[in-house]
Structure 1
Amino acid sequence: MLTLKPMSQKDYDAYLSTAVTNYAGEKVKAGTWTEQLAFQKASEEYQRLLPNGIQTPNNYFYRIDQDDTRVGVIWLAKSQDNPETAFIYDIRIVKDYQNQGIGKQALKLVDAEAVKLGFKNIALHVFGDNQRARHLYEESGFKVTDINMEKKLSN
């Protein structure tokens, strides 16, 4: 059975040790940041968003467990733009458990958790080239609200 369990400090420390690097890599891949500055910028963004780590108010960290095995993580927070909206900053499914419907099930659990926390909406960001995630989110009822676009210029 799939469940959400609040992260312990140990879980959070393990999550953070890879989350900043993963985020930096995604921003480089998307062309938003240069490789030279990506890790520094990602570290600064995490520090800005989570000045008190797991104890930062209005931030909720969960393990996604399949029975007693951790198969993923999720970071949910009160939106800075709309207090009625929960924002999913990060959702990750362990590679060996991907493509098994766990992400879709986890999003349903996150919806229920957001309602328990008093939220009326849930939002997230997805990188444009992440077709698999975009498909999952659209199947789960998310709609596009903003689109940023970029093109390379030739000299």
Structure 2
Amino acid sequence: MLRLENMTAAHFDDYMSSSIKEYALEKVQAGSWTQEDSLDNARLTYDRLLPDGLNTPNNFFFSIINGDNVIGYIWLGPDSENKNIAFIFDFEIYDAYQNNGFGSQAISLASTKAKALGFTSVGLHVFGTNSRAIHVYEKAGFEITDIKMQKKL
């Protein structure tokens, strides 16, 4: 049975080392950042969002657990524009566990956690090139609220 558990310090350290690199890569692929600035920009973003790391107030890090295995993670915190909205800052089901319905289940569990924490809704950002994630989020009931577009010159 799938469940969310508070992320341990060890899992958080692993998460941070890989997540910063992944975020930098996604921003480059989206055309938002240059390759040469991407890692510094990603580190600055994470430092700004998480000045106290795992202990940053009002940020909730969960390991997604199936049986005895950590199969992913999810990070919730208040949306910067509306504190009533829980924002999913980061979410991943590890490759070996994808295509088993775990993403949809984890989103449902995270929504329940967000409601218990007093939030009235859940929001997130997804890169336009991530069709797999868009499918999971739409299936879970998310609707488009904003679209950012860009044209290469």
* Deviation for aligned residue 1:12: 0.7
User: Equivalent residue of 1:64, what SS?
Assistant: strand
Alignment of 1:78-97 (within 5 A): 78-97=78-97
Whole-angstrom CA distance in 1 between matches of 2:83 and 2:31:
30
Tell me the alpha carbon deviations over residues 74-113 of structure 1, each in whole angstroms, 9 at most, x when there is no partner: 1110111111100000001110001110000000000100
- With structure 2 as the length reference, what TM-score do the two structures score? 0.99
Unaligned 5+ residue runs, structure 1? none
* Deviation for aligned residue 1:22: 0.4
User: Equivalent residue of 2:146, what SS?
Assistant: coil
Q: Runs in 1 of length 4+ with deviation above 6 angstroms?
A: none
User: Equivalent residue of 1:144, what SS?
Assistant: coil
Number of aligned residue pairs: give it.
153
Q: Percent identity between the aligned chains?
A: 47
Whole-angstrom CA distance in 2 between matches of 1:92 and 1:25:
15
Corresponding residue number in structure 2 for 1:140: 140
Corresponding residue number in structure 2 for 1:40: 40
Whole-angstrom CA distance in 1 between matches of 2:100 and 2:110:
17
Whole-angstrom CA distance in 1 between matches of 2:30 and 2:99:
23
Whole-angstrom CA distance in 2 between matches of 1:10 and 1:71:
15
Whole-angstrom CA distance in 1 between matches of 2:150 and 2:108:
32
Alignment of 1:2-151 (within 5 A): 2-151=2-151
- Superposition RMSD in Å: 0.6
